[in-house]
Structure 1
Amino acid sequence: MLATYSIGEPNGRPPILIAHGLYGSARNWGVIAKRLSDTRQVVTVDMRNHGQSDHVAPHDYPAMAGDLAEVIEGLGGPVDVVGHSMGGKAAMVLALEHVDLVRKLIVADIAPVTYSHTQQGMIDAMRAVDLSVVETRGDADRQLANFVEDQGVRAFLLQSLDVRGKVWRLNLDQLEADMDAIIGFPEVSGVFDGPVFMLSGAESDYVTHEHRPEIKRLFPAARFVKIPGAGHWVHAEKPREFEAACRAFLDA
């Protein structure tokens, strides 16, 4: 079962379900969820092996899509789905395998393809932090700085640190074991004909022109929009623009 967090009241309009990316959690999306909840219910989740959700195997997209389907069925589905990066891939598999549960789909800065870059370095960096001597988030940040230069990335990772419990709220062993599945994309039969919004950062190289034929094959109605000045963390870097673009698409 996934840990879920709901904001806003059910009001007859389809709820919005938000799925975060690798090493993230529902709390990364708190501000955007709160803003979007002015017109309908918004549900954020901790994906499996993240946050407060269960540590389980496998960590692959059919399993993650199944988790999301369970949540949507509990909401009485169908819903509108927003997914970023890993959560975007899970949302795409959800739409392809559970067509009846998704009304509209927003995919934030990811394509349904296999990428060559591994995310193993972040796991190595988190493992390198000696949690036994960590008393504050600042203690952990100073250690992490030896391995991760970007302060923003460190702040993001540290949201998944339980300082008091001296433990990462991430199943690092399982994420490492399934890294090939995470950077890959499964063979999925079927097509999702519903509205799809591929919303990317203009400074990101995660969704390229070369990816478009495969996206259109699986999602014939896909539209493409890039947010200027944003990279892969498009929702964090340009939250107002991201929210406005999502709202326009979902309310159309």
Structure 2
Amino acid sequence: MRLNVVERGPDRAEVAPGRPPIVLLHGLFGRARNLGHFQRRLAADRRTLAIDLRNHGDSPHGQMDYMAMAFDLVETLAGHDALPATLVGHSMGGKAAMTLALTRPELVHSLLVADIPPAITGHGSSRLGRDMLRIEFPPTLSRSAADALLTEAVPNADIRQLMLQNIRFGENPGWQIGLQELVASMINIEGWPYIPEGHAYDGPTLFLAGGRSPYIRAEHHATMHRLFPRHRLEMIEEAGHWLHVENPARFAALLEQFVDEF
């Protein structure tokens, strides 16, 4: 599946030799432009591609699992002559990035994973998806009315602002994302694919964890070390799972330090 891509950066001739493209992958219910602030910073001197993963943004819809999402990334990035690449993924996007790194390591220059382990996870996403699916839209809808409509299902105001980007306003409002497909695929999204014994990604890897997030836990460290032996883990104390929203300055500093290092 060819995915929608938002590309930014200087003319390719101006990018220093050996600097790989940086690919930004959003989390569940997100879209490429959610990472626009960081993409614009990186694009000052690097080629960057922010991607709408399947069922998100302006990309096609379909049933999903992480192997399929990794294939989507290979097809899309190959079509943009953007491999090998540095992959930066938050949550679901981080799992897709890890899957690609583990199955096609030659295509991944380096890897940053934001607040998700290589493991089965799930902290309310299934319930949230079902709650969103049950929302009944009126015949017409403004952004302010949509904000009120989402308040019960999405009480966190910052996260709700991200969710509002997935709604079609005006006449005949509704979800732009493939919400039915997402809810049907949630067991795969919250899961983790089978990785055959012996597979590992030996490239530079940085895990970022939110200090208030329940996702990356001590019980995951052994698996992280086995699959990503060159990884390091950094904690962003003043943040939860949406660490790039809750502490964007610290997230940007660690991201930029990592991509400049490798």
TM-score bin (small chain): over 0.9
More deviation, 210-219/134-143 = 134-143
CA contact under 8 A between 2:158 and 2:245: conserved in structure 1? no
In structure 2, give the amino acid aligned to 1:191.
Answer: A
Residue in structure 1 matched with residue 7 of structure 2 by the alignment: 6
Q: Distance in 2 between matches of 1:130 and 1:194?
A: 46
The alignment yields a C-alpha RMSD, in angstroms, of: 1.4
What is the CA distance between 1:241 and its match in structure 2?
Answer: 1.2
Q: What whole-Å deviation, never above 9, does each CA across 1:104-130 have from its counterpart, x for those lacking one? A: 100000001012434122223322333
Whether 2:192 is the aligned partner of 1:185: answer: yes
What is the CA distance between 1:238 and its match in structure 2?
Answer: 1.4
Residue in structure 2 matched with residue 235 of structure 1 by the alignment: 244
TM-score, normalized by length of structure 2?
A: 0.91
> Which residue of 168, 173, 182 maps to 1:175?
182
Q: Distance in 2 between matches of 1:101 and 1:161?
A: 34
Q: What whole-Å deviation, never above 9, does each CA across 1:5-29 have from its counterpart, x for those lacking one? A: 0011332421100110000000100
Matches within 5 A, 1:123-138: 123-138=129-144
Residue in structure 1 matched with residue 59 of structure 2 by the alignment: 53
TM-score, normalized by length of structure 1?
A: 0.95
CA contact under 8 A between 1:118 and 1:183: conserved in structure 2? no
Q: What whole-Å deviation, never above 9, does each CA across 1:194-222 have from its counterpart, x for those lacking one? A: 00000111111211111100011110001
Whether 2:21 is the aligned partner of 1:15: answer: yes
SS at match of 2:141: coil
CA contact under 8 A between 1:201 and 1:232: conserved in structure 2? yes
Residue in structure 2 matched with residue 112 of structure 1 by the alignment: 118
Residue in structure 1 matched with residue 39 of structure 2 by the alignment: 33
Residue in structure 1 matched with residue 224 of structure 2 by the alignment: 215
What is the CA distance between 1:71 and its match in structure 2?
Answer: 2.4
Q: Distance in 2 between matches of 1:139 and 1:91?
A: 36
Structure 2 residue runs of 5 or longer lacking an equivalent are none
Q: What whole-Å deviation, never above 9, does each CA across 1:67-114 have from its counterpart, x for those lacking one? A: 111222232411100000000000000001111110010000000101
Number of equivalences: 251
Percent identity, please: 40
